[in-house]
Amino acid sequence: MKTGGINGYGSDIIKDTYKRVAQQDTCRDFADILDRAQAEKDDERLKEACRELEAVFVNTVLERMRATIMRDGLIKKGLGEDIFTSMLDSELAREISKGKGTGIADLLYRQLSKNIER
């Protein structure tokens, strides 16, 4: 009886579902924050929403960069490592966007703040 399925095909399904749910939550959060910021004319909330969207972009870049690393298969990659790496990339992206970041948040803020009537 073979019971090794959890580290094979099953872990890919769990990992993909985890990423998809995280991305959907982020999109909903950004849309909600953006709507509230525009309705309440809140500049700080808009700035935070722009920083969060920049963090999502940076996180995607980090994930794609990490996916290009060649693995030799000597040490098998497990679900725990995948989850930890995903969480690490998310936190790195948030920290990057807190500072000067890539400039995307500033560009978004300038563009979206034109829609907020003062």
66 has a pLDDT exceeding 80: yes
What pLDDT is stored for residue 20 in this prediction?
57
Residue 90 domain boundaries: 11-113
- Can you list the positions of beta strands (E) in the chain? none
1 occurs within a structural domain: no
Per the domain annotation, does 109 fall within a domain?
Answer: yes
pLDDT band at residue 1 using 50, 70 and 90 as cut-offs: very low
For residues 53 and 108, the answer to whether their CB atoms sit within 8 Å is yes
Q: Based on C-alpha coordinates, what's the Rg of the chain? A: 18
- Residue written as tokens 């953006």? 34
- pTM for the model: 0.66
Q: Tokens 């995903």 label which residue?
A: 86
Is 77 domain-assigned?
A: yes
4 within some domain: no
3-state secondary structure at position 26: helix
**Total domain count, the chain:** 1
- Indicate whether 15 belongs to any domain: yes
Q: CB 23: neighbour CB atoms within 10 A? A: 13
